[in-house]
Structure 1
């Protein structure tokens, strides 16, 4: 499991990439409950590149703050590819950032089912590639472990995805 030191080192890598770039990052979190935003704001000077974070645990919050369509949530559920894609797009549209990450998953200890097992986490990343065009990517992982383990691994993967998008 990634240690607190590993997580902070990853946050510093993000900071090194964004510092002086003129770009900003926004987060839209559900199962990680703001852990990603907390980690990023542990880095001194983050106000230059961390624009804001949304913790949208409930479906209502996803709809109200990120404009996730109710039809998406009804048809696919909160833990799904369409939802994290909509969360990432909504975070960009509700901020001044040029890159967004989103996370929604089933951290446990309950809530899993055959088609959405315990440990399932969906990730979305969106970036502004032109004034009128977004590039959105998504993926899922199924993590093992307890609630903390799943969330910790989700934080790492979300931030690794940002680094991959930025070319690191």
Structure 2
């Protein structure tokens, strides 16, 4: 008898369950996703045991004022860069005094892209006490909403990877 395919585990639920199990917490720092990662996490019942809160740092000045991203990083590398994503994740984790932070910065379009930084370019970062991981994604010009949804999925999946690799 063929085994029925397992239902895909919701990464947001997996994050909340893992963090509740270790009594750890996470914060979000979002730019192009505008709070969608925080929404995905708080959609999970019982998430208050693991979700600290979130920063929506859409404007460059918000990145600097709210989570202490150095203005020179934004000036030198641009808001959509590996360096700023890393600084957003580290800044959010340190500002909130939590165990983990996930950050996203990118170009969702329909405007704002360039040859060097096209629409669909997104950086996702996860910060922990051990390290900060940054992944670059280029989702392509698939539409603003689809880029934002893909960014949320990528962010949640990276958090799961970091949380489960810490178990090893």
Same fold (TM over 0.5): yes
Equivalent residue for 1:156?
A: 153
- TM-score, with normalisation over the residues of structure 2? 0.90
Equivalent residue for 1:65?
A: 66
Per-residue deviation, residues 41-69 of structure 1 (Å, max 9, x unmatched): 11111110001100000000000011000
Alignment of 1:48-59 (within 5 A): 48-59=49-60
Alignment of 1:1-168 (within 5 A): 9-129=10-130, 135-144=131-140, 145-167=142-164
- TM-score, with normalisation over the residues of structure 1? 0.90
Q: State the number of aligned residues.
A: 158
Bigger radius of gyration, 1 or 2?
Answer: 2
CA-CA distance at 1:15 after TM superposition: 1.6
C-alpha distance in structure 2 between counterparts of 1:33 and 1:71, whole Å: 23
CA-CA distance at 1:32 after TM superposition: 0.2
Counterpart secondary structure, 1:88: helix
Per-residue deviation, residues 114-168 of structure 1 (Å, max 9, x unmatched): 0000100011111013xxxxx1111110113100000000000001000100116
Which one has the bigger strand percentage? Answer: 1
**Gapped regions of structure 2 (runs ≥ 5):** 1-6
**Gapped regions of structure 1 (runs ≥ 5):** 1-5, 130-134
